[in-house]
Structure 1
Amino acid sequence: MRPDEVSDIIFVTEEKLRLLRKHGNWRIIEPVNVRADEAKISALISQLTGLQYLRPLGSPRREYRLEPWLEFATDRNRYGLSLGKKAAGGRYLAVNGRAYLVTDFDPVLSPTLENLRNRRLSYIDGATVTQVMVTSPDFSLHLERRDGWHVAGQAWKRIDPLKVEALINSFVRAEALKCEREMQGRDPDVVLEFITSDGQRETFRIWFGCPVFAEVPAIDGVVELDPALTRLIPDSVSDLVDRALIKPEAQRIRRIRLSQGGRSCELRRSGESFLSAGSPVATGRIGRLLVDLRRLEGEESSGATGDDAKPVGRITIYYSSKKPAFDIVIYSNYYLALDGRTYRVRPQDLKALQTSLGALISATVKRG
């Protein structure tokens, strides 16, 4: 049978669960009616429909240690499966009362509502979002995407697209930490809305606190969110203003010199890729470094490095063969020097940059 023919699954283990496919989507309908985790259910069905027996065994025997496991159905047939112990080269399995030795597999032994229900917050693709609205008792913001992101009706205001995209993608890709049944009894602290190019709207109603709760589009009831998500929600337009210290233009880069912890390397452009000592360098690692550079924000601080600060890394980017476009020195006390000026930046951003810098050097030096 094909995986898409399966329409009904019942786990008959300790916690009885029933899942039903309707209009192409899986839902848990017992003991409660909630959306199921599509990826986990698809993996389970692929596992079931892909099982192959090594040999038929006939009637079940006690030594097979078979226990009822699950039932699943198509439009034409229903199958009852009992799971047995592992055996040499396989596992015992009974299907509709007939025993088989099948190829060994890793079954879902103790499924629960919590590990099979959907935890994704959203249905949409973040790339299709063209409007973002943030509303709270003290603040209202409407962003539009037209040749970049800007405040609706105020295209002259420079909005950092990376911040808006981080907000969107973090929410649409996130999963709930916990799923609650009871609703909140007060108005939300902030309402976040995404509207896609085809007019689909998703609304997130969020209550700040410890923990952070929310009503989200893809899960019934209230869920607990990762508190880190709330730090991406702007309190004002100024939170989204483009304050990037470094804006490397990837297509213009001809050469990059890197050093950290006594190790160094040099990357040179060759067509659409980069080489180090004649060997190709993973473009994903270079992209990660450039993204982390682009996220650096800070304020200039004259002489803030101090006598005890030590340089721990350096990144020099060239658009031409001689003059550097950016010369960045990273210091041990979360300052950096950029083209001779010193800035205090957020520790978490500088740590991320040091991690991507170290990973790129390690991969390049090791291969070289």
Structure 2
Amino acid sequence: MLRGLRRLHRFEKRILEIAKKNEKLVQIQQYGFSRKTSSGFRFPIYALSIGKPAALKKNPVGIVAGVHGLETIGVRILLDFLYHCVDNPDFFPELHKGKLGLLAMPMVNPGGVALRRRSNPAGVDLMRNSGVEAVRSMPFFGGHRASRHLPYFRGQGLEPESRTLYRFVFESFFHVKNSLIPVVDVHSGFGSVDHVWWPYAGTKDPCRDHRLFEAMGRFFKIQAGHSLLNFGPQSESYTTHGDLWDLFYDHYYKLHEREKSWKSRFLPLTLEVGTWSDLKESPGKIFDRKNIFNPDGERKRETIQRYRKFLRDLFRVALTKERDWQIQ
């Protein structure tokens, strides 16, 4: 656990560095705590807001990472992006000029980071924890309730980390009017291909904004130059129980279903970073539970910095309106 605590401390130190880099632009808030470890430790969950107050209220975008404690490359990508945005005003001027506001939760599962495990300290996989029942989910991998000592355990109710993330999303985005609201969750996963997924994870039925998501995917892949990213609903790859973004997405539209004039669109996306490009050189990595979802040292910096432009381009979606996408 000591090694994991050191890593957690480095991430928290970086979060504070970002907050101090421009105190007029960046605010830090403690949003909640992790589940306690067996030793009685619990860890704070922080959120950062970057931008002017009016932009954060009227035109926000979001990014989160660290839902799975082993996937620390996602935390690194998020922190690198935030630091680069704050430190280089010309890279993302919309943040500095008050056109957009960026809200971030860098480590949803700090207990998992400290313990160096995928799950939270209670053994619950947070991305199987929402209670949403999938249609023909993958056996075991898609979530189960057999034992918390096995991976992909769903738990019996929303864990503290899941509730904290929901409150963050609800308070930050659910009441924003007349806006497209992209929110990206950064993960790392199997394979060497990067994916950008939209809902649903639990069913192959198209989500309400399927055509808008498809139009965005075509734009990013063909016109914006992000040709190496694969875009589509998560269920095209596999289906799982308990996806948190399925829950949040459905709650958003249930909240506004009687408001006929509601124009905003909540657009959750998952950036799944393929981290197995070095598998030919290091085949033993596939058996390394701690590093299977993270690139090796030589490729780490390149991987971390690779997504800056895509994340910036994605968040600029919030400067458009639904009609701009010529949905067919």
TM-score, normalised via structure 1 length? 0.23
TM-score, normalised via structure 2 length? 0.25
Q: Which structure's relative contact order is higher, taking Cα pairs within 8 Å and 6+ residues apart?
A: 2
Greater share of strand: 1
Flag the structure with larger Rg.
1
Greater share of helix: 2
